[in-house]
Structure 1
């Protein structure tokens, strides 16, 4: 009897994990997906109620399964959730829900051992660490622990109903910050606070959505080294309504406050304002605590190039911001990255380590994958 080959363990069953499972099948690997939630749809059901994709349906699908319906529409959060549910069902792979990976250890002789919160120890030929949307980033400011108002990350915001008539500060310069502030403004007193000016990209150019032009010009595929030079600030996709709201004063924008007070905030000009709630739309960080035994994460940032670990053969990443391109951590882009890292894992499984050798950095800074857009959450899960 032929011995059973250890599977590739994919940690996380959101859009990145599902794309990884598809690519694993395409390269002849046996994927097992571990997902902490009740169903493999990532964080999508938990995003705010009005969220829609920033890219049209025709540009937003994972490999091998387009969105149903009008390709020019912008699918709602619940449509994306249903789409991911169908995608997972169609994969017909081993997806273990309500199963959280808590530690990954290297095995003597190669491969890994993945420990779960159920006490299982799963041998793995390779490990795919996916996503960051389970780890919202909430910065700490002076006086924050004494603030008595409602303080939360946008990951915990759902709708404006609870904020009627209240004074709200929304922190951030990216899509979610501006969209949530705009949504709250008609029924609350809202200020948008950011460390930099709000920068806009037109949603449509010459009658076509921006993502059409990203595709035909190849902008979506520009390598990370170029993109991080070109895109150094958060940007907001806009049809004109957000810009008009800010320039007209209907949605006031101020430089970031410097500290909290017990009942509000201290603005940079020295004024104090009473504030009922502060909502941080400040992005996400890689959710990789389970890799601590491998010491492959440096100050929260994985040591990798193009999604391939520079320290541990057989370990790859998916869903990192600007992992290989502008679209890396979006529905429309993660499939390309999945194919790339799975080719590396297949080569590793065949004892062809060229993928892992070629990415070892030549300078210390090359080991750290960072994004200038982390500060204000330019990408936050809805990038299509």
Structure 2
């Protein structure tokens, strides 16, 4: 990211965030609007001056339609189990600042995989990727199902 190394402030990743105390009274810019960014931003806004920045407008979805969590509806309707991951051509991208770990991974290339199994390195599997096998793949309700699938396939090798 241009200017990252000349930036005089502190740069941190959502994975390192624990609580708002260290940011009290500070100006904070959050890059991206994924779930973690939005949750951290909402919490920090009570303690700091927060700006959320994205490349595209943020699209918020009602998390509790009819008073029940959206994940509940994906589960009971089985919509979250539909195998649409391989058919979804353009997964949503969320810009992220980091210590260089993600940047190096991106330079090396996005994992070439199908349903979580590497297509370039036999015996390697992935979990938690957006649209890996379905709508819930990157969420808590889907990652377990995907992990079981990947583990079963890898154990057959």
Gaps of 5+ in 2: none
Q: TM-score, normalised by structure 1?
A: 0.35
- 1:308 maps to 117
Q: Distance in 1 between matches of 2:72 and 2:46?
A: 32
Assess if the C-alpha contact under 8 Å between 2:27 and 2:48 holds in 1. yes
* Aligned equivalent of 2:49, options 174, 178, 189: 189
Secondary structure at the residue paired with 1:191? strand
* Aligned equivalent of 2:65, options 205, 225, 235: 205
Assess if the C-alpha contact under 8 Å between 2:86 and 2:115 holds in 1. no
Gaps of 5+ in 1: 1-139, 235-255, 257-278, 289-296, 349-384
Root-mean-square deviation over aligned CA pairs: 3.2
Q: Distance in 2 between matches of 1:198 and 1:339?
A: 32
Number of residues of Structure 1 aligned to a counterpart in Structure 2 = 154
Q: Distance in 2 between matches of 1:148 and 1:165?
A: 18
Mark the CA change 1:315 to 1:176 in structure 2 (over 3 Å): closer, same or farther: closer
Instruction: Give runs of aligned pairs for residues 23-38 of structure 1, distance below 5 A.
Output: none
Instruction: Give runs of aligned pairs for residues 199-278 of structure 1, distance below 5 A.
Output: 199-222=59-82, 223-227=84-88, 232=92
- 2:143 maps to 334
More strand by share: 1
- 1:154 maps to 14
- Greater relative CO (CA pairs within 8 A, separation 6+): 1
Per the TM alignment, residue 217 of structure 1 is displaced from its structure 2 partner at its CA by 2.4
Q: TM-score, normalised by structure 2?
A: 0.76
